Chains A and B, each alone.
Chain A
Amino acid sequence: MNINNDILNEIRQAAGENNVLQNLEEKIPYKNDASYMPGRIPELVIIPENSDQISRVLKLCTKYKIDVTVRSGGTSLTGSSVTNYNGIIINTMKMDKILELNIASRYVVCQPGVRLDNLNEYLNKYGFFYPPDPASSKASTVGGTISTNAGGLRAVRYGATKEWVLGTEFVTATGEIIRTGEYTLKRSAGYDLTALIIGSEGTLGVLTEAILKIEPLPEKYGRILSFYNDIYDVGSALSAVKNAGITPLIAEFMDLKTINSIRDKLNIKIPDYTQFMLMVDIDSTEASLKGKIENVEKIIKNYTKDVLTIMDQKTMDEIYKARKGAYSALLNQREKKNEIVIIGDVIVPASELPATLKEIKNAVDKMKINVSLFGHIGDGNIHANIFAENTKTGLEKVEKLQMEIAMAAIRHKGCVSAEHGIGTEKNKLLYEEYKERNSLYSLELMKRIKAVFDPENIMNRGKIFYD
């Protein structure tokens, strides 16, 4: 529905006069997020200060059927934080406070606009941390990472965001402010609405507060880098480590193109034959770290002759930063001016990884597209970074390749999204995935669940579900 002057005045009053952006130049930044999915400039941007304002605005939006998209860090890689309709964007970045830290009870209470790196900087002072660690942690927020169930480098050990949220305050599309979950480490008190909210990509309502579980920092850890010519050996080496009962803190792989993009920051000697590098972090008590690292080195040496262990914290920090910056670094590898790099995000079971990678490589070769690979190999999560011209034919090519990669993942019992979400980029792929598995009924149920929270379908319409 069009927002006429009367409705506009109502919204201004509901949101607070100073919290509404109307001028074109103020709204332009909201047209895009970190994805290449085209968005629209919203009618209005609202930057609320509290959940009451959000509740009042959503009541009006449901009443007048106005489309709403929620946004915080704007780092979505699948277009879930841009709008495709003539609606409003609610930006939660003014709600950026850490409300309570309870070390004894192991939780921290945050508003949605708190950035992950800021949260961890704060927690580290107390010897604790919040494990979910997407590569965008400098910009991504508590609210955004909950709504996309973000993963990241440490997920191999600590799991994705959903394992770290104890409860929420949430405003439903109809403006009801609800609380879900508890401050306790476990509970069984009715249906787990918190679980539904996590990963819902702003399609149910607006998250306004989160109770997050925290962990003590690992006592001590070391990093083992190893180099390979063949992707099969990378997978086998990691399987051998895991089968020995050792779950690494992180387990990352990258191909030569990715290595080259961050080579100057890595500052280590990389053997000439290298096509792939595996990076494994092992943690332990101070007393037994050395023995544990030696044990892992021994296992990995069965698969490659070149193993490099780094124990110096400063060097480890530099490498970690370089890995997290890999996607941005790849942007500098573009050959043409109008080229873009689109990051894929499929996942397969560990045993299917080598065969899947092979199929992906075949598809890439066949289509003659420039692609570089890295990912959280400990989870079977592959990020294929596709270089493409930002033209109609270029994007069509990308879409075709993305579909090929997705189908390869589905054939190998995997999924079209591991941690970046669905948004508008993958809603068709998600449909294909459920269709392939004969479980379209599951998607239908999800749509009905959306209607329970959002009867007028105003929240982030067009995301997740393919119409």
Chain B
Amino acid sequence: MDNKLLIEKLIDAAGKENVFTDNEHLIIYQRGSIDPLKHMPLAVVKITDEKNISRVIKIANEFNINIIARGGGSSPTGAVVPDDNTLIMDLRPLNKINVSIEDGYVEAYAGATLQEVNEECKKYNFFFPPDPSSVSVSTVGGAINENSGGMRCARYGVVKDWILKLDVVLADGSETTFGEAIYKNRGGFNIIDLIAGSEGTLCIVKKAWLKIIAMPKKIYRIAGFYDNINDAMDAILAIRKLNPLILEFSDYYGIVAANKIRGFSYPETRGGMVLADTDFDESYLEDIKKIMEKNASKIIIPENKDEFNNIFEVRRIAFTAPGILFPGFIDGDVVVPLSKLKDMINFVYKTREKYGVYIATCGHAGDGNLHPQIGGNPDDHENWRNVLLAMDDINIEAVRLGGSISGEHGIGRIKKDLLLKQLKYKKQDETIIIMKNLKKMFDPKNILNRGNFFD
């Protein structure tokens, strides 16, 4: 292939200042956030004008080159990691945001971060509820493509539940629109929800219209520390009935790590911590407290802003702790029916014993979504082998319990085999064929994020 000609054409289409081929720039785009996977792209094109998306895709078609649309690059599953012969389209510069309060939506280009979106909405006392912990970097386009979740899922669901309308660019460079900026819409098949979670394999999201709502007036926060993990899980099921704003969990290892990393002194109870927010009224806080009082050895209701934030940090740090404490770690993202939460967490504990590895588990327990994060040393062969085996066991157990290998982080490149295993286990071979046919229909030349989902 004639790379020189390709680069010339890209420069023609997107401007010299927006096309990068030097190692120094490319190196930033070779990987996502957590996984060790990496691969150098062929070139990077910064999209500063929305019309350039289509132009670049048309060139990619001509040269038969793989394209990855990238926003914040925070995918934990390698969804933004290049394949061979890959062109990265950096959509981050496309970040215009426009809020319409009366019609209840925010109109945002793919490159706007969720934080930027929320800062804009905040001016009117509104917000966009989905809040993956990477809000400061993850973008509208990325969050839609990954169908992200976050802390507030227990009440507000995932990104998919908030999309009204999408402007997209298809694999052949043509542009079209799905949905409308209204709250109910029957316009044929629901393509928006097909695109949400498709990880850049069906089309490129250019712009989105997202539902927003008024911010809660006051948030009450409470944390219960448990000696017994089964009691903690029972409390989660009971609190779920009170429709909390968030309902989170961190296990013992997460609390210990947070205390160590941040110098906190929260109770290091063996059964972990259950954290709940409610925005209704104080009676709900009382009701949650009553549930916790049954078995929690300690209950904390933050009395000032620092305490309010710090206790949240415990849950947040539990997620990243293995990455801070160990040279390498892999991210778990299993989801099970709520009634199977107890089985899942106990299995994680057994797996830790079996392989002798470090696992800190936290998660959006209110949705049945747990993040068992496994830390280890990739250079220590024996240890890293056990890390990978442990994660495999955990994923397969989630499927066996009627759950899934991914709640919100997606499949990307690192869970491809697991996805196939899951669909096969559930006797969904036919479903795989339909998915592959859909991919072929949207992207006949297989140039959109090749190597994701399926081979």
Residue ranges of A at the interface with B (Cβ–Cβ < 8 Å):
102, 104-107, 148-149, 151, 155-156, 159-160, 162-163, 172, 176-180, 182-193, 195-196, 198-200, 216, 239, 242-247, 284-288, 347-352, 376, 379-381, 413-422, 430, 433-434, 437-439, 441-443, 445-446, 448-450, 452-453, 464-465
**Contact between A183 and B402, CB atoms less than 8 A apart:** yes
- Near A by CB (< 8 A), chain B positions 295-336 give 335-336
Besides A102-B337, A184-B403, A195-B196, 16 other CB < 8 A contacts? A104-B339, A106-B338, A159-B161, A178-B430, A182-B403, A186-B335, A186-B407, A188-B404, A188-B408, A189-B405, A191-B198, A193-B434, A245-B213, A285-B280, A420-B186, A422-B186
Among B157, B193, B196, B240, the one with the most A-chain Cβ atoms within 10 Å of its Cβ is B193
Among the stretches B17-25, B255-263, B435-443, the one at the interface with A is: B435-443
User: Smallest CB–CB gap between B57 and chain A, Å?
Assistant: 14
| B338 contacts across to A, CB distance below 8 A | 104-106, 185
CB distance from B78 to the nearest CB of A (A): 14
The A contact surface, by secondary structure, is loop
B197: A residues at CB distance < 8 A? 188, 191-192
Contacts of B15 in A (CB 8 A): none
Closest Cβ neighbor of A176 among chain B residues: B430
CB distance A192 to B182 under 8 Å? Answer: no
Using Cβ atoms and an 8 Å threshold, which residues of chain A touch B435?
Answer: 190-191, 193
Residue B230 is within 8 A (CB to CB) of chain A in the complex: no
CB atoms of A453 and B434 under 8 A apart: yes
Most buried by B among A104, A193, A287: A104
Give me the interface of B with A, judged by CB distance under 8 Å: 100-104, 125, 146-147, 149, 153, 157-158, 160-161, 170, 174, 176-178, 180-194, 196-198, 202, 213-217, 237, 240-241, 243, 280-281, 283-284, 335-340, 367-369, 402-411, 419, 422-423, 426-428, 430-432, 434-435, 437-439, 441-442, 453
Contacts A159-B161, A285-B283, A449-B189 known; A439 to B402 CB distance under 8 Å?
no
What is the CB-to-nearest-CB distance from A175 to chain B, in angstroms, rounded to a whole number? 10
Pairs across A and B, CB under 8 Å, 6 listed? A200-B189, A349-B181, A379-B184, A415-B186, A419-B184, A442-B191
| Contact present for A242 and B104 (CB under 8 Å) | yes
The CA-CA distance from A245 to B410 in the complex, in Å, is 33
Residues of A within 8 A of B369 (CB): 184-186
Residues of B within 8 A of A453 (CB): 434
Q: Which residues of A contact B281 (CB under 8 A)?
A: 284-285, 287-288
**B340 and chain A: residue at smallest CB distance:** A105
Q: In the complex, what's the smallest C-beta–C-beta distance from B161 to chain A, in angstroms?
A: 6
Give which listed residue, B177, B198, B427, contacts A442 with CB less than 8 A: B177
Q: Is the CB of A245 within 8 A of B434?
A: no
What's the nearest-Cβ distance from chain A to residue B419, in Å?
A: 6
Evaluate contact between A441 and B453: CB separation under 8 angstroms. no
- On whether the beta carbons of B158 and A184 are closer than 8 Å, the reply is no
Which residue of chain A has its CB nearest to the CB of B454? A190
In the complex, the answer to whether A192 meets B196 with C-beta atoms within 8 Å is yes
A195 to B190, Cβ gap below 8 A? yes
Q: Tell me if B146 and A193 are in contact (CB < 8 A).
A: no
Nearest CB on B from A151, distance (A):
5
| Shortest CB distance B304–A (Å) | 25
Main secondary structure of the interface of B (DSSP, over half): loop
Contact between B453 and A417, CB atoms less than 8 A apart:
no
CA distance A244 to B369 in the complex (A): 33
Most buried by A among B188, B194, B428, B434: B188
Q: Are B402 and A437 in contact (CB under 8 A)?
A: no
Whether A187 touches B428, Cβ cut-off 8 Å, given contacts A199-B186, A413-B182, A417-B187, is no
Query: A348–B430 contact, CB under 8 A?
Result: no
Taking the closest CB of chain A, its distance from the CB of B80, in whole angstroms, is 15
User: B146 contacts A418, CB within 8 Å?
Assistant: no
Residues of B within 8 A of A148 (CB): 186
A-B pairs with lowest CB-CB distance, top 7? A245-B214, A195-B193, A105-B337, A104-B339, A417-B186, A349-B103, A187-B404
Please measure, in the bound complex, the distance between the C-alpha atom of A287 and the C-alpha atom of B285, giving whole angstroms: 13
Q: What separation, in Å, do the CA atoms of A156 and B211 have in the docked complex?
A: 12
**Bound Cα distance from A185 to B194, whole angstroms:** 17
The residue that A441 contacts in the complex, of B176, B184, B280, B426, with Cβ under 8 A, is: B176
A189: B residues at CB distance < 8 A: 404-406, 411, 419, 422-423
Q: When A196-B190, A200-B189, A442-B177 are in contact, do A184 and B368 touch as well, CB less than 8 Å?
A: yes
Are A415 and B336 neighbours in the complex by a CB distance under 8 Å? no
Q: Complex formed: what's the CA distance from A452 to B237 in Å? A: 41
- Nearest residue in B to A431 (C-beta to C-beta)? B188
Indicate whether A443 sits within 8 Å of B104 (C-beta atoms), given known contacts A191-B438, A285-B283: no
Q: Decide if B182 touches A348 in the complex (CB within 8 Å).
A: yes
B241 touches A216 (CB 8 A): yes
Residue in chain A with minimal CB distance to B164: A349
Interface centre among A102, A179, A183, A350 (most CB of B within 10 A): A183
User: Is B184's CB under 8 angstroms from A288's CB?
Assistant: no
Q: Which residues of chain B come closer than 8 Å to A420, judged between CB atoms? A: 186
Q: A178-B428, A186-B408, A189-B406 are in contact. Are A439 and B189 (CB under 8 A)?
A: no
Closest residue on chain A to residue B339 by CB atoms = A104
Complex CA gap A247/B155 in Å reads: 14
| Residues of A close to B405: CB separation below 8 A | 189
**Chain A contacts for B432, CB-based, 8 A:** 190
A159 → chain B, closest Cβ, in Å? Answer: 7
Nearest residue (CB) in B for A163 is B161
Q: Across the two chains, which residue of chain B brings its CB closest to A449?
A: B189
In this complex, what residue of B is CB-closest to A426?
B186
The answer to whether A244 touches B430, judged by C-beta atoms less than 8 angstroms apart, is no
Name the residue of chain B whose CB is nearest to the CB of A105. Answer: B337
Q: Is the CB of A452 within 8 A of B283?
A: no
B405 to chain A, nearest CB (A): 7
Choice from A193, A351, A413 contacting B431 with Cβ under 8 Å: A193
**Chain A residue nearest to B282 in the complex (CB):** A287
Q: Are B187 and A415 in contact (CB under 8 A)?
A: yes
Decide: A350 near B103, CB < 8 A? Known: A162-B193, A442-B178. Answer: yes
* B146 cross-chain contacts in A, Cβ below 8 A: 188
B186–A418 CB distance below 8 A: yes
Residue in A182, A186, A349 whose CB lies within 8 Å of B402 = A182
* Nearest CB in chain A to that of B148: its residue: A188
Contacts of B198 on A, CB cut-off 8 Å?
191
Known: A180-B431, A414-B182, A442-B178. A192 touches B404 (CB 8 A): no
Cβ contacts under 8 Å, A196 to chain B: 189-190, 193-194
Whole-angstrom CA separation of A381 from B182 in the bound complex: 9
On whether the beta carbons of B284 and A285 are closer than 8 Å, the reply is yes
Quick check: B100 and A351 within 8 Å, CB to CB?
yes
Decide if A190 touches B411 in the complex (CB within 8 Å). yes
A441 to B178, alpha carbons, bound, how many Å? Answer: 10
